[in-house]
Amino acid sequence: MPQPWSRKQMYRTYLEEYSERWSEYFTFKREDGILEMRMHTEHDSAKWSLELHRAFIPALADVGHDPENEILIFSGTGEKFLDSMDPEGWERYGFREPMTFDKGYDFWYFDQVHEPFSLLNLEIPVIGAINGPFFIHQELALLNDIVIASESTTMADGHYTGMGIVPGDGVQTVFRELMGTNRAKYFLLTGQTMQAKELLDMGLIGEVVPDDQLLDRAWEIARTVFKPRARSTRAMTRALLVQPWRELLTRELPTGMAHECWGVHGYWGMAEEGYDIANLKKAED
- What's the full length of the chain, in residues? 285
Whole-angstrom distance, CA of residue 135 vs CA of residue 141: 11
Candidates 24, 139, 151, 252; catalytic one = 139
How many C-beta atoms surround the C-beta of residue 11 within 10 A? 7
DSSP assignment, residue 272? S
Q: Which of 125, 147, 155 is nearest to 214 (CA)?
A: 147
How many C-beta atoms surround the C-beta of residue 23 within 10 A? 12
- Upper half-sphere CA count for residue 105 (Cβ side, 13 Å): 3
Q: Report the run of H or E that residue 215 belongs to, with start and end.
A: helix 214-221
How many C-beta atoms surround the C-beta of residue 239 within 10 A? 12
123 is catalytic: no
Percent composition of the chain: helix, strand, coil (DSSP 3-state, to 5)? 45, 15, 40
- Find the helix packing angle between 231-263 and 171-179, rounded to 10°: 120
What SS3 state is found at 155? strand
Evaluate the CA torsion angle 156, 161, 163, 165 in order and state its sign: positive
Sheet architecture: strand order including 26-31: 26-31, 34-39, 71-75, 126-130, 146-150, 207-209
Catalytic annotation, residues: 139
